[in-house]
Chains A and B, each alone.
Chain A
Amino acid sequence: MLYINCPHCGMRSQNEFSYGGDASVKRPELNKEVSDQEWDNFVYNRKSLRGKHLELWQHISGCRQWIKVERDTATHEIFRTFKADEEVA
């Protein structure tokens, strides 16, 4: 069982959360010309890192907020959690 420290609600079990994928993916700016390659990278291409991975989760059975979680994809250790709009250094 994963325990995720929701920045809004505190420590909760993974059963309350739903996964949202790689949080480092950025949607291309819409006020400029966007190449097919940039769309590809946004929609499909993923690094799928082994090790530290910044990802989106939604606290779907709690505050329903989207959050960012820094987790190790090999050991499942969770290092840090952030609010969705928080910048990750």
Chain B
Amino acid sequence: MQKYSIFNLVKNAFSNHENWDLAWKDPTPKEEYDVVIIGGGGHGLATAYYLAKEHNITKVAIIEKGWIGGGNVGRNTTIIRSNYMHDENGLFSEFGMDLWRKMSQDLNYNVMFSPRGIINLAHSDAQMNAYARRGNSMRLNGIDAVLLNREQVKEIIPMADFSENVRFPIFGGLMQPSAGTARHDAVAWGYARQADSMGVDIIQNCEVIGFDVSAGKINGIRTSRGNIKAKKVGLCVAGSTNILAEKLNMTLPIETHLLQACVSEPVKPVLDNVVTFGAGHFYVSQSDKGEMVMGGDLDGYNSYAQRGNLPTLQHVLTEGIAMMPFLSKLKMLRTWGGIMDMSMDGSPIIDKTHIEGLYLNCGWCYGGFKATPASGWTFAHTIAQDRVHELNAGYSLNRFSTGHLIDEKGLGTKTWIS
């Protein structure tokens, strides 16, 4: 594989950049693989990469219905953080933060990781107490957390509404300085390029139509491009999890819901951090191009539509304007929607299943992007070793039966409620 470097950039400039290698090939499916990963999104591509890199398993195929990186990794708000209170989420995400920091070098692909910090705003004394508690839990797990008072927040984001007579005055906030953003497409492409170079077959435009299971063991999959034998199969399909589960006669603690996001027209640099509104669900950051990237609540009802509805967008942006009034002056450039695999406690599932050789990676709700490296790393371990790693031991499928839920937000089974 051609390394991306300043020397190669100069060298290729002499031939008008017409002789660069393809970033990944377009192979026809082989008859058999050691591992088949269904879903060519961030998590699937990362899983294939870590299978090859960490476990030396390279007879691997990624099966993607559309094109790689065309689902949620191509339509998120690029936020990376590990500001969780529960140990399972905190330790898992912080392990991921370390992979994020090294990712550009590791993949030889600039993923533009920008640790600009995230601030969760608090709008009451009670919320400040809750944030102090969460911040302390984070620090016990080795995650950086700083509790900011009103004046400190005002220094960092003076454009927020600090006037006296507002419905939700800013009392302060909890900041994770090491959190940030990354270029989402580059993450998918970087993983794809490296996985391909290590021998992984990336098979696009190939829909899974069934599974070959006998005597409780997976033998392969049936696809729109023929049958493929596989010793092990990993499911990494986010919002389509229930559709594939139905083909396996499995009913999962997952519901598919729609989440929208939007960007404004580009403006000059105004916001250095990611900021979230504490009295509702709204978050904003500014992209390198200058667009304000915004998101918030789910549309709130089961949906596979991948396009949103205006009442929710209006509701979310009302919160945004309450937090930063200047946003009302901006024109909207684009809105889009993606389908989320909402689990029943808001936390993901990375586990084996009752079918031998079938592995499940789902339930990312709206926090899947930041988890990409850690999810791929632990899922690759789970598949390669046929046992969960201690980092994803808590993300078991049977935790719903045993009562070991990881209910970070305390929303119970209605994680889509707003």
List residues of A whose CB falls within 8 A of some B CB. 1-2, 13-15, 19, 21-22, 36-37, 40-41, 43-50, 53, 55, 71, 73-76
Query: Top 9 nearest A-B pairs by Cβ distance?
Result: A44-B253, A48-B242, A45-B251, A19-B301, A44-B400, A44-B344, A50-B304, A48-B255, A74-B304
Q: Could you jot down 11 A-B contacts, CB within 8 Å?
A: A19-B300, A19-B416, A44-B400, A46-B252, A48-B254, A48-B255, A49-B242, A71-B301, A73-B305, A74-B304, A76-B305
Query: Within the complex, what minimum Cβ distance (angstroms) separates A81 from chain B?
Result: 14
| A34 to B304 CA separation, bound complex (whole angstroms) | 33
Docked pose: A13 CA to B401 CA in angstroms: 38
Which residues of B does A touch, CB under 8 Å?
A: 242-243, 246, 251-256, 300-305, 309-311, 344, 400-401, 413-414, 416
A36 and B303 contact, Cβ closer than 8 Å, known pairs A1-B309, A44-B413, A45-B252? no
A45 to B: closest C-beta gap in Å: 4
Also in contact, A1 and B311, with CB within 8 A (given A44-B413, A46-B255, A47-B242):
yes
Given known pairs A19-B300, A47-B246, the reply for A14 and B252 (CB within 8 Å) is no
Q: Is the CB of A2 within 8 A of B309?
A: yes
Q: Tell me, in angstroms, the Cα distance from A82 to B302 when the chains sit together.
A: 18
Main secondary structure of the interface of A (DSSP, over half): mixed
CA of A51 to CA of B413, assembled, Å? 22
* Contact of A73 with B303 in the complex, beta carbons under 8 Å: yes
On whether the beta carbons of B302 and A14 are closer than 8 Å, the reply is no
Task: Look across to chain B and name the residue whose beta carbon is closest to the beta carbon of A75.
Answer: B305
Q: Report whether A55 and B251 are in contact in the complex, using a CB–CB cutoff of 8 Å.
A: no
B351 to chain A, nearest CB (A): 15
Knowing A36-B401, A73-B256, A76-B303 are in contact, say whether A46-B310 is a contact too (CB < 8 A). Answer: no
What is the CA–CA distance of A1 and B301 in the complex, to the nearest angstrom?
A: 13
**11 extra interchain contacts, Cβ-Cβ under 8 A, other than A55-B302, A73-B302, A76-B309?**
A1-B309, A1-B311, A2-B309, A13-B311, A14-B311, A43-B344, A45-B252, A47-B242, A47-B246, A53-B302, A74-B303
Which chain B positions have C-beta within 8 A of A36?
Answer: 401
The answer to whether B252 and A50 have CB atoms under 8 Å apart is no
List of A residues within 8 angstroms of B413 by Cβ = 43-44
Rounded to whole angstroms, the CA-CA distance of A21 and B344 in the bound complex is 12
* List of A residues within 8 angstroms of B243 by Cβ: 50
Q: How far is the CA of A50 from the CA of B301 in the complex (A)?
A: 12
CB distance from B105 to the nearest CB of A (A): 40
Q: Is the Cβ of B305 less than 8 Å from the Cβ of A74?
A: yes
Q: Whole-angstrom distance between the alpha carbons of A48 and B257 in the complex? A: 9
Among residues of A, the one whose C-beta sits closest to the C-beta of B402 is A36
Would B302 and A48 count as touching, CB distance under 8 A? yes
Q: Cα distance A76–B242 when bound, in Å?
A: 18
How far is it, in angstroms, between the C-alpha of A48 and the C-alpha of B252 when the chains are bound?
9
A22→B300 CA distance, assembly (Å): 12
Contacts of B303 in A (CB 8 A): 73-74, 76
Q: Which residues of B lie under 8 Å from residue A43 when comparing CB positions?
A: 344, 400, 413
Q: Smallest CB-CB separation from A47: which chain B residue? A: B251
Chain A neighbourhood of B309, CB < 8 A: 1-2, 14, 76
Q: How far is the CA of A57 from the CA of B6 in the complex (A)?
A: 58
> Which residues of B lie under 8 Å from residue A37 when comparing CB positions?
401
Q: Which residues of chain A have C-beta atoms less than 8 A from B251's C-beta?
A: 41, 45-47
Closest B residue, CB atoms, query A53: B302
Residue from the set A15, A37, A40 with the largest chain B CB neighbour count within 10 Å? A40
CB distance from B316 to the nearest CB of A (A): 14
Give the shortest distance, in Å, between B59 (CB) and chain A (any CB). Answer: 32
Bound-state CA distance A86–B305 (Å) is: 28
Are the C-beta atoms of B302 and A22 separated by less than 8 Å? yes
Give the nearest-CB partner of A74 in chain B: B304
Which chain B residues lie closer than 8 Å to A46 at the CB level?
242, 251-255
Q: Which residue of B lies closest to A40 (CB)?
A: B401
Tell me if B400 and A40 are in contact (CB < 8 A).
yes
Cβ distance A76 to chain B, nearest Cβ, rounded Å: 6
| Interchain CA distance A53-B221 in the complex, whole Å | 27
B344 with A48: CB separation less than 8 A: no
User: Which has the most chain A C-beta neighbours within 10 Å: B255, B304, B400?
Assistant: B304
